[in-house]
């Protein structure tokens, strides 16, 4: 059987995780990675084509599905958007939809199981049962060390797609695969997790300092030249930052910055978002990171439809305080993502004065991010909702 993964710049990590699972279990499946639709159209019509995609990629996927469906390919859908909109994906033309964790269900499909929707929500995998990347095909990515988030934040799909119970990959397995990576000259360790400082914890928040030190120490021991922990492509919750864990990270990691998820400077907004922390937690985390020589890169989301002008002024004042302390700001615009509590709340609304303040901070080199592009994406996402209203 030929299994084709349609790879884009947005889904590479999920594709590598899935193909790694398949290669580890089914050596008779031929894997093909297609970076454009033309790569697929040259393949036999009995090929199975798998898409993993987010909602902002929906229109492009719809266009490609129409073409591939007419050609007779079997089409699979998985990822955040299919998890939230399984029936919609079937109507779009996909033959099978995989919701939640995809590894085990994809293997069952390839072994002959046939269902319209494969349930990976109620049946979650153990990360240790599958490799984090594929050495055999030289397909590498940052290692997913934890999956899931207990908070179910109102704007975020993570707890829907990955579950609210946090699962951790063992130190032993992470180190084992990093050793395999070293043989392929992969000397840099990066990690995927919803909260880096929550690695190994029972609640996904309270740092398990012993587990984190064991991980970082053993990666240094085997010869990993660079370790990045608490920075891209992951971040850190403010309420997970304390002196003990920061000292450990400083001892072993190479990053000089830590990405901190604040999201708002208004406690009222943070409560509506179900973040589980307040802005005092953000300030405390920033002070600890600065004390130990890290530059906090603090994430904020702008344009929540329910924000008041007072909320926005409070957030900007908080940001300016953080900038004066030595932080850098990473700005986002609110996206009404399917499956979240705020999917029907409206699109991002950023008043002119706020845009000017953000642009000024950006011109001074104190703020970055794709908030302007995301503001447009927010309108496009809302227009996809069946009962959307005009912004």
Pair type for strands 48-52 and 74-78: parallel
Q: What is the mean pLDDT of residues 26-40?
A: 97
What confidence score (pLDDT) does residue 384 get?
Answer: 79
What confidence score (pLDDT) does residue 387 get?
Answer: 42
**Contact assessment for residue 148 and residue 165, using Cβ atoms and an 8 Å cutoff:** yes
Residue 6 has pLDDT above 80, yes or no: yes
CA distance 140 to 132: 8
pLDDT grade for 391, boundaries at 50, 70 and 90:
very low
At 310 the three-state DSSP class reads helix
**Contact assessment for residue 96 and residue 116, using Cβ atoms and an 8 Å cutoff:** yes
pLDDT grade for 14, boundaries at 50, 70 and 90:
very high
Q: What are phi and psi of 187, to 5 degrees?
A: -100, 0
Residue 388 has pLDDT above 60, yes or no: no
What confidence score (pLDDT) does residue 383 get?
Answer: 84
**Contact assessment for residue 388 and residue 350, using Cβ atoms and an 8 Å cutoff:** no
Percent of the chain with pLDDT over 70: 98
Full set of structural domains in the chain with CATH: 2-120 (3.40.50.280), 256-391 (3.30.750.200)
Residue 209 has pLDDT above 60, yes or no: yes
What confidence score (pLDDT) does residue 18 get?
Answer: 98
CA distance 375 to 378: 5
CA distance 95 to 48: 10
Question: Is the peptide bond between 241 and the residue preceding it cis, with omega within 30 degrees of 0?
Answer: no
What confidence score (pLDDT) does residue 124 get?
Answer: 96
pLDDT digits (tens, 9 = 90+) for 308-365: 999 999 999 999 999 999 999 999 999 999 999 999 999 999 999 999 999 999 999 9
Residue 13 has pLDDT above 90, yes or no: yes
CA distance 261 to 276: 12
pLDDT digits (tens, 9 = 90+) for 63-100: 999 999 999 999 999 999 999 999 999 999 999 999 99
CA distance 39 to 25: 25
Nearest Cα residue to 272 out of 99, 154, 179, 137? 154
Nearest Cα residue to 142 out of 234, 76, 25? 234
- Please give the C-alpha separations between residue 256 and each of 72, 211, 251, 292, 361, in angstroms, as whole numbers: 51, 21, 11, 10, 21
Residue 386 has pLDDT above 80, yes or no: no
Residue 188 has pLDDT above 50, yes or no: yes
pLDDT grade for 157, boundaries at 50, 70 and 90:
very high
Residue 149 has pLDDT above 60, yes or no: yes
CA distance 35 to 360: 38
CA distance 188 to 50: 29
**Contact assessment for residue 252 and residue 220, using Cβ atoms and an 8 Å cutoff:** yes
**Contact assessment for residue 251 and residue 207, using Cβ atoms and an 8 Å cutoff:** no
Is 352 exposed, middle or buried (CB count within 10 Å of its CB: 0-12, 13-18, 19+)? exposed
pLDDT digits (tens, 9 = 90+) for 228-282: 999 999 999 999 999 999 999 999 999 999 999 999 999 999 999 999 999 999 9
Mean residue pLDDT across the chain: 96
């Amino acid at each position: 059987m030929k299994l084709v993964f349609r790879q884009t710049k947005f889904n590479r990590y999920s594709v590598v995780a899935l193909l790694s699972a398949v290669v580890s279990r089914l050596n008779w499946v031929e894997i093909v990675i297609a970076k454009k639709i033309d790569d697929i159209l040259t393949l036999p019509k009995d090929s199975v084509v798998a898409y993993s995609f987010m909602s902002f990629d929906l229109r492009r996927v719809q266009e490609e599905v129409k073409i591939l469906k007419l050609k007779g390919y079997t089409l699979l859908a998985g990822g955040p958007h299919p998890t939230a909109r399984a029936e919609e994906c079937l109507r779009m033309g996909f033959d099978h939809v995989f919701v939640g964790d995809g590894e085990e269900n994809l293997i069952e499909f390839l072994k002959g199981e046939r269902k319209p929707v494969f349930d990976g929500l109620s049946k979650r995998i153990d990360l240790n049962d599958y490799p984090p990347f594929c050495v055999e095909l030289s397909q590498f990515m940052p290692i997913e060390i934890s999956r899931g988030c207990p908070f179910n934040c109102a704007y975020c799909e993570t707890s829907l797609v990955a579950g609210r119970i946090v699962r951790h990959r063992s130190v032993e397995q992470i180190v084992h695969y990093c050793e395999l990576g070293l043989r392929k000259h992969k000397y840099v360790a990066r990690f995927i997790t919803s909260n880096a400082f929550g690695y190994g914890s029972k609640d996904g928040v309270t740092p398990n300092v012993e587990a984190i030190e064991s991980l970082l120490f053993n990666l240094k021991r085997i010869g990993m030249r660079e370790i990045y922990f608490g920075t891209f492509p992951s971040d850190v919750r403010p309420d997970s930052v304390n002196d003990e864990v920061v000292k450990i990270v400083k001892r072993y990691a190479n990053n000089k910055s830590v990405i901190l998820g604040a999201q708002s400077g208004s406690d009222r907004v943070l409560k509506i978002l179900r973040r589980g922390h307040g802005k005092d937690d953000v300030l405390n985390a920033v002070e600890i990171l600065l004390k130990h020589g890290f530059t906090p890169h603090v994430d904020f989301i702008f344009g929540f439809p329910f924000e008041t002008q007072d909320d926005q002024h409070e957030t900007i004042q908080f940001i300016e305080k953080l900038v004066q302390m030595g932080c850098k700001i990473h700005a986002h615009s609110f996206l009404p993502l399917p499956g979240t509590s705020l999917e029907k709340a409206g699109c991002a609304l950023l008043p002119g004065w706020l845009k000017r303040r953000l642009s000024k901070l950006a011109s001074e080199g104190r703020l970055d991010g794709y908030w302007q592009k995301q503001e447009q994406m927010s309108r496009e996402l809302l227009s996809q909702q069946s009962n959307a209203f005009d912004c």
